[in-house]
Amino acid sequence: MQLNNEDFQRLAKIIKTKYGLNLLDKKILVESRLTNYVLDCGFDDFTEYLETVYADRSGIEMTNIISRLTTNYTYFMRESEHFRHFTEKFLPEAERRMTDRELRIWSAGCSYGNEPYNFAMCLDNYFGVRHSLWDSKILATDISFNALRMAKRGVFAEAALKELPLDWRMKYFNKNPNGTFQVTDEIRNNVVFKYHNLMEEISFKKKFDLIVCRNVMIYFDEQTKRDLINRFYEATEEGGYLYIGHAESAPKGIGYKMIQPAVFRKPAKGDE
Ligand SMILES: C[S@@+](CC[C@H](N)C(=O)[O-])C[C@H]1O[C@@H](n2cnc3c(N)ncnc32)[C@H](O)[C@@H]1O
């Protein structure tokens, strides 16, 4: 089924403004990802379907489109340098600096949950029995309801666990009778999944000690990226960190200081 140019331009413009996703040269991808869905919904052409989408005040139908157009590719231990920085630099520093022992981490664009669960496992593995002395919470957000639903269940195929240390299978997963693995309740309870569109204001109550936003901004243009990084900066505690994807670049002139590739820090009072 073909999407005519007028319909495509209008849809691409709305999605760019509302979700930051740049689809302008992706007409074929949009057609291929939406055609079966539109037919299954009982429409014969895109024009008729899109009229229904725009008329839907609840916005639910638009989120169905977004779920189909976003790339949710993710895996455990992706960009392992971040997990190394987290356990070798971030957590030892947190132990020295954070006398209130309150740790807030945000995985922004968490997809199926591999990323926030991975940080929760690293955190637990690092602290061991001392974990109970800490009030640690990981917020994990995305715009794909489908990804969030799967993330909350925390069920993964055995093959998905291959990059994790072998003993973590026993420690942080329960094996289901069908051979899949579910993240333990303890780790799942450490992560709160929520819908949040990164194009919107950040109104979470507390600031974060670490914001992880990896492989999300690749779809955003420079201005959208700059605005988002400025919002992240406001939402970061002094001395807190931002991790971005290694294939992504941060715009010049932002408040964070680059510490190493893809790792940024918000200066704290008293820093030289
Ligand atoms: C490629 S995945 C990256 C997942 C994970 N961070 C990683 O690096 O493995 C990108 C995720 O960003 C989400 N995303 C895209 N645009 C977004 C937006 N405007 N607000 C929130 N999440 C968004 C997508 O739904 C998708 O799940």
| Statement: residue 130 has pLDDT above 80 | yes
pTM score over 0.85: yes
Does the domain spanning 5-69 belong to CATH 1.10.155? yes
Q: What is the mean pLDDT of residues 120-131?
A: 96
* CA 212 to ligand 1: nearest atom: 6
Pocket test for ligand 1, best of 18, 75, 106, 142 (most atoms within 8 A of CB): 142
Four-residue CA torsion sign, 248, 107, 182, 173: positive
Q: Measuring from each residue's beta carbon to the nearest atom of ligand 1, which residues come in under 6 Å?
A: 19-21, 70-74, 78, 109, 111, 115, 142-144, 147, 197-199, 214-216
Q: Please report which confidence band the pLDDT of residue 270 belongs to, taking 50, 70 and 90 as the band edges.
A: confident
Q: Look at residue 55 and give its three-state secondary structure.
A: helix
Domain definitions of the chain by residue range: 5-69, 80-265
- Which is it for strands 208-213 and 236-244: parallel, antiparallel or unpaired? parallel
Q: Which pLDDT does position 134 carry in this prediction?
A: 96
Q: For tokens 């691409």, what's the residue?
A: 12
| Statement: residue 272 has pLDDT above 80 | no
Which of 24-28, 88-92, 125-129, 256-260 has the least mean pLDDT? 24-28
Q: b/e string for 38-63 if b means 16 or more Cβ within 10 A?
A: beeeebeebeebbeebeeeeeeebbb
Q: Which pLDDT does position 248 carry in this prediction?
A: 95
Q: What is the mean pLDDT of residues 210-216?
A: 97
The matching CATH number, chosen from 3.40.50.10490, 3.40.50.150, 3.90.870.40, 3.10.20.30, for 80-265 is 3.40.50.150
